[in-house]
Structures are given as structure tokens and as C-alpha cells.
Amino acid sequence: MGKTKDIREAVEAELDFDPLVDDGDITVKNMNGEVALNGTVPANVSVPATVEAVASNGNITLSGTVRYGSERAAAELAVAWLTGVRNIQDEIDIAWDADPVDVTLSVQEALDRNALILDDSDVTVDAEGNTVNLSGHVRTWAEHDAAIDAAWMTSPKFPLMSL
């Protein structure tokens, strides 16, 4: 019975951890060791309700505030495929209180976990003000993208990154 409860709690914790999942209307049930998820989720959980879109003559202006860069990008993607869209003006602010030291450590830990970034990599992280600077060398464009993505996902308040 203890393991069964642990499985349910682990699933609930993972749903709560993932910023792309709105688990407000999801129930997790343990059915003899098998987990069943029941409920509903919003159509596009990656775009928070704090984002607004205004359209005029094929031009869409996005505004509001998000916590993560991925939410800002998801808002653009959500409207980019619509028929008749000619231009997207993104005025979404990224706002999240974070200590630059914590951000530096978090980004470095994310880089250490990333399989594309070798353990002997000389990529370093420095967060100062509202900027995260990545410096060093990467072998491939995929490593470059992995480093930028790690910084972007870990440090939502810091939109400017270079490598």
C-alpha cells in the first residue's frame, strides 16, 4: 500500500512541477498499482491567461506578463499559424524575481545535466543585472542551442544571452 501511495504522490508532484501542465482539474488515482489520470486541461496550457492578443488587419499584438521565455515563445506560436496573420508584435514582458547568483548556479547545473554539453566543456555562466552571459566554446550548433536553451529555461527573467 505504501508503494502505491508513493506512485500517486510522485505523479502528482511531477504534474505540479511541470510549468506546461495546469493540473488544477486533474485527479490522480491509484488503481492496484496503475495510475489513472482524470480531468480536463486548457487547450493551450503553455500560454498563461496573463497574455492578451489584439488583432487588426492581419497584425497581432501580444501583451501581458509571463514568467518564462518558453511561455512567451508559445504565445507567438499559438497565433502564428492562424490564417491571415501577417505580422506579430510581441510586447510580452518576462517578469520573475530571481537572484543573479541563484540563476548562475541553476544555469550551470542545467548545463552539467545536459547530455550534449561535455563534462570538460569550458562553457561558463555569469548572471549580472538582467543579463545572462554564456562564454566558452562549443563543438556544434546543437551544443550551442542546448546551452542557450538551458539558460533560457532556467532563467526566465534574463532575456539576453550570448555564446
What pLDDT was estimated at residue 157?
A: 46
Asked whether residue 66 falls in the same domain as residue 110, the answer is: no
Cα separations in angstroms, 1 against 35, 43, 120, 150: 13, 35, 45, 38
Q: How many domains does the chain have?
A: 3
Q: What is the pLDDT of residue 130?
A: 65
Residue 45 in domain: no
Q: For residue 119, what are the domain limits?
A: 100-162
> What is residue 162's predicted lDDT score, i.e. its pLDDT?
47
List the pLDDT tens digit at each of the 163 positions of the chain: 455 557 888 888 877 766 667 778 888 888 887 777 787 766 776 788 899 998 888 889 999 998 877 788 889 988 888 878 889 999 998 776 667 787 788 777 877 777 677 777 888 888 877 677 888 888 888 888 888 877 776 655 444 444 5
Sequence-distant (≥ 6) Cβ neighbours of residue 78 within 8 angstroms: 44, 46, 47
The β-bridge relationship of strands 26-31 and 34-39 is: antiparallel
